[in-house]
């Protein structure tokens, strides 16, 4: 049963190392992306109707506090032992980070910039896409990075409903089969993947917001 290389997986893992990497990225980053897609309209609504924000913030924080095991058990009746059962809670958890990120980002757009845009004849949608969103991006991307890294780590618990925890599977299987090597490989891989994701997102942010770079340089 002894593996020949560090990245060779024993048969009870039921996946190759690269398979684990792929599942890990697909579910975590997919959940982050889905969370962003949901957070953008919610955040937009909250910044337009500020009275909604405290309640919304309360709800997303409450969701974050629901133990994932409980959500799995509830979901498993509908979505079975599948990626989806892991994907949905992860997506919901990102809201607690991304909704405030979107709101803070939109609030970071100066009032007089919006006034000037309106006065020059921007339509609602064009103003949102070409003025508000780009200016909100640095704040927004900071939240996306936190959400992505947190999802990568939270996903491990997916191991409890079968083989849907990505590297998390290795923790549970390592425990069950007394193989500490698996736990270490899983842990270090997860850390390296998190750091790489964060660096990649940071790089994307720099490319997307050249103006913010010089803003930091100037101040």
Partner 1 sequence: MITFENVSKRYPDGTEAVAELSLEAPDAAITVLVGPSGCGKTTTLRMTNRLVEPSGGRILIDGEDIRSRPVAQLRRGIGYVIQHAGLFPHRTVADNVATVPRLLGKDRRAARKRSMELMELVGLDLAFADRYPHQLSGGQQQRVGVARALAADPAILLMDEPFSAVDPIVRKSLQEQFLQIQAEVGKTILFVTHDIDEAIRIGDKIAVLRKGGHLAQFAAPRDLLEKPADAFVEEFLGLDRGVRRLTFISASGLSLHTDALVKQGVEPTAGQLEQPWLLLVDDAGTPIGWIDPRSPNAAPIPIGHPFIAGGDSLRAALDAAVLCPTGWAVGVDEQGHAVGVVSQEEIAVAIREAHRASLEAV
Give the binding site for partner 1 (CB under 8 A): 110, 112-113, 115-123, 131, 134-135, 209, 211-212, 214-215, 218
Q: Which is nearer to partner 1, 77 or 112 (CB)?
A: 112
CB of 139 to partner 1, least distance (A): 13
Residue 123 beta carbon to partner 1: minimum distance, rounded to whole angstroms: 6
Residue 120, SS3 per DSSP = coil
Least separation, in Å, of the C-beta of 33 and partner 1?
23
Determine the distance from the C-alpha atom of residue 157 to the mean position of all C-alpha atoms in its chain, rounded to a whole number: 15
- Report how far apart, in Å, the C-alpha atoms of 79 and of each of 71, 164, 192, 194 are: 11, 13, 31, 27
What distance in Å separates the CA atoms of residue 30 and residue 155, rounded to the nearest whole number?
Answer: 12
**CB nearer to partner 1: pick between 48 and 176:** 48
The set of residues, in sequence order, having a beta carbon less than 8 Å from that of 181 and lying 6+ positions away, is 3, 6, 174
Least distance to partner 1 from the beta carbon of 104, Å? 16
Q: CA 62, 68, 72, 73 torsion: positive or negative?
A: negative
Q: Which is nearer to partner 1, 28 or 205 (CB)?
A: 205
Measured from the CB atom, is 51 or 216 closer to partner 1?
216
Q: Per-residue DSSP letters for 67-117?
A: -HHHHHHHHHHHH-SSHHHHHHHHHHHHHHHHHHHHHHHHHTS-HHHHHHH
Closest separation in Å from C-beta 113 to partner 1: 5
Which one, 55 or 125, has the nearer CB to partner 1?
125
């Amino acid at each position: 049963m002894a593996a020949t290389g560090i990245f060779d997986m024993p048969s009870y893992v039921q996946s190759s190392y690269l398979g684990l990497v792929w599942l890990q990225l697909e579910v975590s980053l997919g959940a982050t992306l889905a969370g962003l897609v949901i957070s953008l309209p919610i955040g937009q609504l909250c910044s337009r109707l500020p009275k909604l924000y405290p309640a919304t913030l309360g709800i997303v924080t409450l969701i974050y506090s629901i133990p994932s095991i409980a959500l799995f058990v509830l979901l498993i009746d509908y979505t079975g032992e599948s990626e989806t059962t892991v994907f949905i809670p992860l997506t919901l958890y990102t809201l607690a980070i991304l909704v405030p990120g979107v709101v803070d980002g939109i609030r970071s757009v100066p009032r007089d910039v919006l006034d000037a845009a309106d006065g020059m004849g921007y339509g609602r949608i064009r103003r949102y896409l070409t003025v508000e969103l780009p200016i909100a991006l640095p704040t927004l991307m900071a939240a996306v990075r936190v959400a992505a890294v947190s999802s990568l780590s939270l996903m491990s618990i997916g191991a409890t409903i079968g083989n849907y925890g990505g590297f998390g599977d290795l923790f549970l299987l390592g425990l069950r089969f007394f193989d500490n090597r698996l736990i270490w490989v899983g842990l270090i891989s997860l850390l390296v993947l998190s750091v790489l994701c964060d660096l990649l997102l940071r790089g994307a942010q720099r490319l997307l917001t050249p103006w913010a770079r010089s803003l930091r340089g100037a101040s």
